[in-house]
Amino acid sequence: MKNTDDSAPAKNHPLYGAKINIKGVKCFDDCGSGLFWFAPITFIIGKNNSGKSTILDVIQECVTTSGKIFDGPLARNGSDPRVEFKQRPNEEKIKRRFPSSTSSSRIPAPNYWMYAEKHIIPHEFTWSIDNNNKVRLLENEGEEKGLVQEAISNMQDAVESPFTGLWSTRIRAERDVQPEKRSTSRDLGPTGTGLTNLVRAFINSDDLPRQLVEAALLQDINEIYLGDSHFSEIICQENETSSEWEIYLREDDKGDIRLSQSGSSLRTVFIVLAFLRLYPEIAKTGFASRLIFCLEEPENNLHPALLRRLIDFLAHQRAERNFSLVITTHSALCIDLAAKRNDSTILHVKRDDGRTICQNAMEYSGKSSILSDLDVRGSDILQANGVIWVEGPSDRVYVNRWIEVLSRGSLREGIHYSILFYGGKLLSHFDSLPPESLPEKVSMLAINRNVSVVIDSDRRPNAWKTKGGKPRRPQKRLNATKREIIHQVELQGGHTWVTAGKEIENYVPAAVWEELTGKKLNIQDEYQDIPSIYEVSQVAATKVDLAHRAEEYIDESAMVGHLDLQQQVKTLCEHIRSWNGLR
């Protein structure tokens, strides 16, 4: 199966170029979802009932409905349902509305086109699709861009909805394939209803190309199951007793297998392939490049290896046929696949201050290399209630212990927060970046807006020597990389904690180190390199082992009055409670 990680440019899909804001529809209030956009492959993530399916509802409503839209259960009570979209005007359509052969005293340019070329074409404008399915330039949008009234009037009919001329399919999270009686209907429902009858029609009716089932669909299913199973034929037979038709897949060494009684994973794959191969022939939908293919929770009942192959297959088909692929998921595997592709975005739907909002969580090229440098998966960041970034594994031990002590065990890693590492290789990578690219890369740490970063100050107010005896000058301020980390995280509303001493170990009182080593130690101040003290270094072979030994001696008395430790951990616990909606 061909790998499509380096697939076509992101603009090569039908929803390219538009930023969407959903207002007054189901969970989205009149302030809206916030602007978001679709990539060739869009993975929509979020907690249960967060609003993921509402985005698919809106796509279907805008694509398939003629006349009034949102004229039913999608409309939010007391709201004015609409979809706003922001994009640059289509140059060809603007040319028709602003011809070079026309001029006017009301247009401050030699002709209409010269005005449009300068004042309209280079800019993004916001339009609204109202519930009458009419597109209008947003009120005051033209004035805010400095356009004259004549130009604003001419622009009103110069743009179509980004959904115009598109078609969509949708496969629901709950789906199945069952025997069915013969029917003249050839509908294929989003849960798989009608599939058996449709396959029967393709195999037995003279007006449908049977090779789409017997060759194309069979080849597809064998590609996805390569290495697990091989099917030699797809058959559809009638039960004489019940008059119901049943789909069978033939394996040469097992015989005919009833699809309705096979594993649910095989039924899911078959439904997906039927929508991809058979439905367009029935619906006469036209070019695949006008398709929005929506799939809900493909991970349901699929083994991770099979899920990976299915997503890779769909991505390859998308790249070949140029449709938009939109997937809702809870799967860490899907999130991690998305984070590694340059043709995808992760759209995060979440509650924020009582509102439902949408945010493109990873949206710039190079994200996969940064995640690789971080040595974390996209799901580690995006599925956590909140993330605490620390420089290394030993920091994690101390921070977890302090949180446990101060919260009386009520806040726990893996439930209320996750701890990830950004030190070592990544900090060196950040340090080597040119100044202009540093902010963008560092901002990856705040992909999850519920974020706290613990930073070693590395301060040494006096001259010092390396382990090799080389003299070094005093170090009194944070380096540029760490200052940029603080700036970017706080810019996103996150929390930062810079250690009062040189590093995290300096928060452990001398009394603890002396109890641990059984020796009287000469610890002069909070800037001393604790792990390099000879007596301490003899206790454990690594900083992580040392941290585990030290945590046994840390209780609340070891935190009170020692530098700013108690206040910093108290503030951190307050943030964690806020991330989890706790008081």
pLDDT greater than 50 at residue 3: no
Task: Say if residues 398 and 430 touch (Cβ distance below 8 Å).
Answer: no
pLDDT greater than 70 at residue 94: yes
SS3 letters across 130-145: CCCCCEEECCCHHHHC
Task: Say if residues 257 and 339 touch (Cβ distance below 8 Å).
Answer: no
Per-residue pLDDT band for 365 (boundaries 50, 70, 90) equals: very low
- Please return the burial class of 19, using the count of CB atoms within 10 Å of its CB with bins 0-12, 13-18 and 19+: middle
How many Cβ atoms from other residues are within 10 Å of residue 562's Cβ? 19
Per-residue pLDDT band for 337 (boundaries 50, 70, 90) equals: confident
Question: What are 389's two structure tokens?
Answer: 């970034």
pLDDT, residue 287, reads 73
The mean-pLDDT minimum among 91-95, 99-103, 201-205 falls in: 91-95
Question: What are 104's two structure tokens?
Answer: 């006017």
pLDDT greater than 90 at residue 556: yes
**CA angle in degrees (0–180, nearest 5) for 92-95-97:** 120
Mean pLDDT in the chain?
88
pLDDT, residue 12, reads 80
Question: Per residue in 191-235, pLDDT tens?
Answer: 999 999 999 999 999 999 999 999 999 999 999 999 899 999 999
- Within 183-284, strands assigned E span 233-238, 244-251, 255-258
Q: Identify the residue with better confidence: 26 or 460.
A: 26
- Looking at the DSSP bridge assignments, the partners of residue 389 are 420, 453
Per-residue pLDDT band for 441 (boundaries 50, 70, 90) equals: low
pLDDT, residue 367, reads 54
DSSP 480-521: HHHHHHHHHHHHTT-EEEE-SSSSGGGGS-HHHHHHHHTS--
pLDDT greater than 80 at residue 467: no
Looking at residues 310-329, what average pLDDT do you find?
A: 95
Looking at residues 244-259, what average pLDDT do you find?
A: 95
Q: Highest-confidence range of 56-60, 127-131, 492-496, by mean pLDDT? A: 56-60
- In the block, tokens 């699929």 appear at 302
Per-residue pLDDT band for 468 (boundaries 50, 70, 90) equals: low
Q: Identify the residue with better confidence: 581 or 23.
A: 23
Single-letter amino acid, residue 304? P
pLDDT, residue 71, reads 82
Proportion of the chain above pLDDT 90, given as a percent: 58
Which residue ranges make up each domain of the chain?
A: 19-37+66-155, 175-287, 365-579
How many Cβ atoms from other residues are within 10 Å of residue 577's Cβ? 16
pLDDT, residue 370, reads 55
Per-residue pLDDT band for 364 (boundaries 50, 70, 90) equals: very low
Whether the model pTM is above 0.75: yes
Single-letter amino acid, residue 81? P
